């Protein structure tokens, strides 16, 4: 496994981040334990979760599973750089209206404590805002985060689904308080979703914020199952949504991957790993087999010629803003 720094920090994280959103609703606990053990064995030390993971009827389920895995001992907790998130509705009766989607000092304090309890730990290395809340001031947010940092309950603060100018706002407010500020931004970024190249990635690079791409396979479309899907599979449902132009696009992509001798999924991950702003794409395996297949991506080195071909198949926005659209 290869490692890199999380943004501009000294914290080392694996180039693949284990996403746990499937644990509980789609992956039973015993299998989730096996996947997490395999991740550690493979050198993946970066795990991502969120307080809302587990489904509408069992918010927190995924954190509970991770907590029970930590409780098995064997240095599991000590080996993991753990990230979780706050923003979503947790449906706690005691929260009242303050339990709705959003952020506040009140909510962050309560939901952080609840996450730590479910995770059976006294701290998380990375605490992330799951979404921007425009009407909440940065004075309030940085105050509550600085208190959690001082108490050692969180190590760093990250964001998710922020625009480029939101990152700039956050860092300017943090600088006023002499705080480190954001160290990571978790963002939807893949070969089919390249809009972040306009503003978010340049802003993150400039500010020293590491990009953690979610949905690196575009909801499965880049996983190689949309052209010849198994009957009744998710791939079959995705295949029915393809336009003729999209089908042609995926046919070209599949042909290129065959030429390289690599799977479509791993080429998509390798492309993300080749982007300078990217720290670690989030992989979300449902089975141990899916997890093991993904490990190959770290070893794939895409040549400039291949990267150019991928740009031709999946065109980006044309570069950074404003040059991409100004002239």
**Residue-range domains of the chain with CATH:** 3-219+265-302 (3.20.20.100)
- Pick the closest to residue 284 from 213, 211, 229 (CA basis): 213
Strand ranges inside 57-96, DSSP E = 81-86
Q: Which residues contact 248 (CB under 8 A, 6 or more apart)?
A: none
Q: Cβ of 73: how many Cβ atoms within 10 Å?
A: 9
Contact 221, 238 (CB under 8 A): yes
Contact 22, 285 (CB under 8 A): yes
- Which DSSP symbol is given to 23? B
Beta strand 210-214 with 182-188 is parallel
| Angstrom distances, CA of residue 246 to CA of 98, 192, 209, 257, 258 | 43, 10, 33, 16, 18
CA distance 127 to 160: 10
Beta strand 46-48 with 81-86 is parallel
Encode the chain (327 residues) as per-residue pLDDT tens digits. Answer: 999 999 999 999 999 999 999 999 999 999 999 999 999 999 999 999 999 999 888 999 999 999 999 999 999 999 999 999 999 988 777 778 887 888 999 999 999 999 999 999 999 999 999 999 999 999 999 999 999 999 999 999 999 999 999 999 999 999 999 999 999 999 999 999 999 999 999 999 999 999 999 999 998 889 888 888 778 777 777 888 788 888 899 999 999 999 999 999 999 999 999 999 999 999 999 999 999 999 999 999 999 999 999 999 999 999 999 999 987
Q: Give the predicted TM-score (pTM) of the model.
A: 0.94
pLDDT, residue 239, reads 80
Residue 106: active-site member: no
Instruction: Find residue 257's DSSP bridge partners.
Output: none
- Which DSSP symbol is given to 193? B
For 139, phi and psi rounded to 5 degrees?
-60, -45
Q: Chain centroid to CA 178: how far?
A: 27
Q: Chain centroid to CA 18: how far?
A: 9
pLDDT, residue 100, reads 82
Q: Tokens standing for 302?
A: 């895409």
Contact 205, 277 (CB under 8 A): yes
CA distance 229 to 254: 13
pLDDT, residue 193, reads 96
SS3 50: coil
Length of the chain: 327
Catalytic pick from 53, 127, 156, 253? 53
pLDDT, residue 57, reads 84
Strand ranges inside 28-87, DSSP E = 46-48, 81-86
Q: Cβ of 159: how many Cβ atoms within 10 Å?
A: 24
């Amino acid at each position: 496994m290869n490692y890199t720094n999380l943004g501009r920090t000294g914290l080392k994280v694996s180039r693949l981040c284990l996403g746990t959103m499937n644990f509980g609703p789609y992956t039973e606990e015993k299998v989730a334990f096996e996947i997490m053990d395999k991740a550690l064995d493979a050198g993946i030390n970066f795990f991502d979760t969120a307080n809302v993971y587990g489904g509408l009827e069992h918010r927190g389920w995924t954190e509970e599973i991770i907590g029970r895995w930590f409780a098995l001992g064997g240095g599991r907790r000590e080996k993991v750089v753990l990230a979780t998130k706050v923003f979503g509705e947790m449906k706690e009766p005691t929260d009242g209206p303050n339990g709705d989607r959003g952020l506040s000092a009140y909510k962050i304090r309560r939901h952080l404590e609840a996450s730590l309890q479910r995770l059976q730990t006294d701290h998380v290395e990375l605490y992330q805002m799951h979404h921007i809340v425009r009407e909440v001031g940065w004075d309030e947010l940085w105050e509550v985060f600085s208190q959690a940092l001082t108490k050692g309950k969180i190590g760093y603060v990250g964001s998710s689904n922020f625009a480029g100018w939101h990152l700039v706002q956050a860092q300017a407010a943090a600088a006023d308080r002499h705080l480190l500020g954001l160290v990571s931004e978790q963002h939807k970024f893949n070969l089919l979703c390249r809009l972040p190249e306009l503003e978010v990635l340049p802003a993150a690079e400039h500010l020293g914020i590491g990009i953690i791409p979610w949905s690196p396979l575009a909801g499965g479309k880049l996983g190689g199952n949309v052209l010849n899907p198994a009957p009744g599979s998710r791939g079959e449902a995705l295949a029915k949504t393809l336009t003729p132009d999209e089908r042609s696009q995926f046919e070209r992509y599949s042909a290129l991957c065959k030429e390289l001798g690599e799977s479509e999924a791993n080429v998509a991950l390798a492309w993300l790993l080749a982007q300078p702003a990217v720290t670690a794409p989030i992989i979300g395996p449902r089975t141990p087999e899916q997890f093991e297949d993904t490990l190959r991506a770290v070893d794939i080195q895409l040549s400039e010629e291949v990267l150019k071909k991928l740009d031709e198949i999946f065109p980006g926005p044309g570069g950074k803003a404003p040059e991409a659209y100004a002239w």
